[in-house]
Amino acid sequence: MDTPDDLRYSSDHEWVRVEGGTARMGITDYAQDALGDVVFVQLPSAGAAVTAGSSISEVESTKSVSEVYAPVTGTVVEVNDELADQPQHLNEDPYGDGWICVIELADRGEVDRLLDAEGYRKLVDD
């Protein structure tokens, strides 16, 4: 499984990449592999207030439907509209074209409470 060192991870298998005062987020390589072929992504709405740990999206695959949880608290400022027509980006490039949304951070310190790459690797290897 690919687990980039420059990202932070939630125990619910989401990743964040901090970009100034925002965090770009998606699901991890581990999560997309467990889901199987993604066929639909329900995106959050731009402008939506989100709370860490709350459901913000759904991903439907050939195997199941799974909730996606906000790894941080803030406001959704951008969504990846390409996923509406190309949900397979979550499988093909989970850390690149497969990002789900960008959240303006309410508290930058929240990111520090997420797992680093080593901690996430230990979580999924157990």
Q: What is the pLDDT of residues 1-59, one digit of tens each?
A: 899 999 999 999 999 999 999 999 999 999 999 999 999 999 999 999 999 999 999 99
Residue 69 token pair: 């949880």
Q: How confident is the model at residue 101 (pLDDT cuts 50, 70, 90)?
A: very high
Q: Does any domain span residue 50? A: yes
What pLDDT, on a 0 to 100 scale, did the predictor assign at position 63? 87
Cβ neighbors of 79 (< 8 A, separation 6 or more) are 43, 44, 45, 46, 100, 101, 102
Q: Does any domain span residue 48? A: yes
Cβ neighbors of 106 (< 8 A, separation 6 or more) are 72, 73, 74, 75
Domain holding 70: CATH number? 2.40.50.100
What pLDDT, on a 0 to 100 scale, did the predictor assign at position 1? 82
Total domains, the chain: 1
In whole angstroms, what separates CA 4 from the centre of its chain? 13
Q: Does any domain span residue 116? A: no
* 110: pLDDT strictly greater than 80: yes
Q: Does any domain span residue 117? A: no
Give the pLDDT confidence of 63-93 residue by residue, as tens digits.
Answer: 899 999 999 999 999 999 999 999 999 999 9
- Mean pLDDT confidence for 96-120: 96
Q: Does any domain span residue 70? A: yes
Q: Does any domain span residue 98? A: yes
Give the domain range for residue 18: 8-107
Q: Does any domain span residue 118? A: no
Q: Does any domain span residue 120? A: no
